[in-house]
C-alpha cells in the first residue's frame, strides 16, 4: 500500500493550518490517498486549541510586541508555540485496518510516534487525553479533527527543542493546571528531543526517523509528493475563508452582564464554561478549554441546553440522551464533569443576577439588551 508524503519548512501559521484541514477534506472525499505531512512553521506562531478563548490562553500584548503570529487550530487541546524547532506531524486518513473510532485512531497515531522516538532511545508513552510523555514530562501534544467528508486529521506538535522562557511569556498557563499536577515550575513538565539526547540533533534527522517509523507501523510505502493545482486552490480557499479571518482566530462569546462562569481541571483537561441566564433558565451555554471532543458534538451540547432548565438533574438527563448518541465523539469529555462545571457556572450567574436585579429589577442590563451570545 502506498501513501503520500509531504515535507515542508517555515510555512506561515495560516497556510500550515489550512493545508492540514484542506488535505484531510480531500482524503475524506477520496480525492487523495492518506497523507503524512511533516513540517515546520516560521518562528514563532502561537496557536490555541479549537475550543479555547484566545484572550485567556495567550499574552496578546506580548505576542504583538514580538510580532508573533497567532491563530486557532481545528483540533482541540491547549495553546502551543510552533516554529522551526517544533515538528508538525499531520496524518490524514479515513480509517485504518477497519479502525474508525477517534480513540482508536489516536492510539495508533501515538504508537507510531512512540516508535519513532524509541529509535533515538527515548521511551515515550501516550498519557492522559492527548499528551506524549517521557517519564511524566511532555514531549508532544496530540489532536484529532474529523470533517464532514469522513476524513480525519491527526496532529502532533513534537518538541525537538523549545524556548521555554519565550513560551512562558507568550502563553497564559492556567493556575488550575499547575495545582492539579503539583508542579513547582512549568519547565519540570516539559522536555524535548534534544534535552533527552543531550545533543543538538537536527530536526531533519527527527523528521526522517518519523517518516520511517510511520511507514513501518502502518505497513505502507511513502511516495514523496507535492500539491496539485487543485489542492493549492483548495488550500488557498480554506486559508482565506478561515485562517486569515479575525472572526475565526478571535472568536468569542458576547457575554451580557448577567452571566456566570466556572472552570475546573477534569480528567479530560481544563473545562471552561460560561452561561447566560434568563431568570432560572439557561439562555445559552459556551464550552471552552483544552479538552478533546468532536466540534459538532460540543455544538450539540451547547445547542441542547439553550433555553433549558438550570436544575442539575434536568441538565444531566438531557446530556445523557446526547452522550448515548455520540459516545465516541465525546469520549474525552465525561458527562459528570460537564454537568458539574455547568452547574457551578449557573450558581455564579445566579449570584450576579441577585446583585443586578437590585439595580435594574430584571435579569438584563438595559444598557446591553438581551441579545443572545454569538457562537462562531
Q: Which domains does the chain have, with CATH numbers?
A: 2-249 (3.30.930.10), 259-360 (3.30.390.50)
Q: What is the pLDDT of residue 35?
A: 98
The model carries a pTM of 0.74
Phi/psi for 25 (5° steps) reads: -65, -45
How far apart (Å, rounded) are the C-alpha atoms in residues 55 and 239? 22
Q: What is the pLDDT of residue 291?
A: 80
Q: Note whether 170 and 162 are within 8 A (CB).
A: no
- Give the DSSP per-residue string, 160-210: S---HHHHHHHB---HHHHHHHT-S-GGGGB--HHHHHTS---HHHHHHHH
Q: What is the pLDDT of residue 361?
A: 26
SS3 content of the chain, % helix, strand, coil (to 5): 40, 25, 35
How far apart (Å, rounded) are the C-alpha atoms in residues 249 and 258? 26
- Give the DSSP per-residue string, 299-322: HHHHHHTTTEE--HHHHHHHHHHH
Using 70 as the pLDDT threshold, list the residues of the chain that sit under it. 128-129, 173-186, 253-258, 352-376
Q: What is the pLDDT of residue 358?
A: 33
Q: Left (φ > 0), alpha (ψ -120 to 50) or beta: where does 89 sit?
A: beta
Amino acid at each position: 500500500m502506498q501513501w503520500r508524503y509531504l515535507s515542508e519548512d517555515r510555512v506561515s501559521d495560516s497556510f500550515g493550518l489550512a493545508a492540514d484541514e484542506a488535505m484531510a477534506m480531500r482524503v475524506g472525499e477520496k480525492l487523495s490517498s492518506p497523507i503524512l505531512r511533516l513540517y515546520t512553521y516560521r518562528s514563532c506562531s502561537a496557536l490555541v486549541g479549537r475550543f479555547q478563548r484566545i484572550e485567556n490562553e495567550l499574552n496578546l500584548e506580548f505576542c504583538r510586541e514580538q510580532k508573533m503570529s497567532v491563530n486557532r487550530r481545528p483540533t482541540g487541546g491547549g495553546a502551543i508555540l510552533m516554529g522551526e524547532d517544533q515538528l508538525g506531524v499531520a496524518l490524514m486518513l479515513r480509517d485504518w485496518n477497519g479502525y474508525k473510532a477517534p480513540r482508536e485512531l489516536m492510539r495508533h497515531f501515538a504508537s507510531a510516534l512512540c516508535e519513532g522516538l524509541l529509535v533515538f532511545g527515548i521511551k515515550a508513552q501516550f498519557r492522559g487525553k492527548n499528551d506524549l510523555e517521557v517519564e511524566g514530562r511532555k514531549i508532544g501534544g496530540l489532536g484529532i479533527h474529523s470533517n464532514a467528508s469522513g476524513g480525519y486529521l491527526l496532529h502532533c506538535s513534537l518538541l525537538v527543542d523549545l524556548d521555554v522562557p519565550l513560551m512562558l511569556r507568550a502563553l497564559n498557563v492556567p493556575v488550575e493546571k499547575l495545582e492539579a499536577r503539583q508542579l513547582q515550575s512549568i519547565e519540570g513538565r516539559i522536555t524535548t528531543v534534544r534535552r533527552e539526547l543531550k545533543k543538538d540533533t537536527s530536526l531533519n534527522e527527527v523528521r526522517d526517523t518519523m517518516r520511517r517509523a510511520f511507514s513501518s507501523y502502518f505497513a505502507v510505502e511513502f511516495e514523496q509528493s507535492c500539491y496539485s493545482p487543485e489542492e493549492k486552490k483548495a488550500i488557498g480557499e480554506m486559508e482565506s475563508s478561515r485562517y486569515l479571518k479575525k472572526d475565526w482566530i478571535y472568536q468569542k462569546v458576547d457575554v451580557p452582564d448577567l452571566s456566570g462562569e466556572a472552570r475546573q481541571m477534569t480528567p479530560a483537561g481544563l473545562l471552561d464554561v460560561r452561561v447566560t441566564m434568563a431568570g432560572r433558565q439557561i439562555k445559552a451555554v459556551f464550552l471552552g478549554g483544552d479538552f478533546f471532543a468532536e466540534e459538532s458534538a460540543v455544538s450539540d451540547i451547547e445547542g441542547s441546553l439553550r433555553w433549558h432548565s438550570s436544575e442539575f438533574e434536568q441538565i444531566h438527563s438531557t446530556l445523557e440522551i446526547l452522550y448515548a448518541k455520540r459516545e465516541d465523539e465525546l469520549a474525552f469529555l465525561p458527562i459528570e464533569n460537564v454537568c458539574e462545571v455547568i452547574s457551578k457556572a449557573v450558581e455564579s450567574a445566579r449570584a450576579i443576577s441577585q446583585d443586578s436585579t437590585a439595580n435594574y429589577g430584571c435579569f438584563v442590563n438595559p444598557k446591553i439588551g438581551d441579545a443572545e451570545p454569538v457562537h462562531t
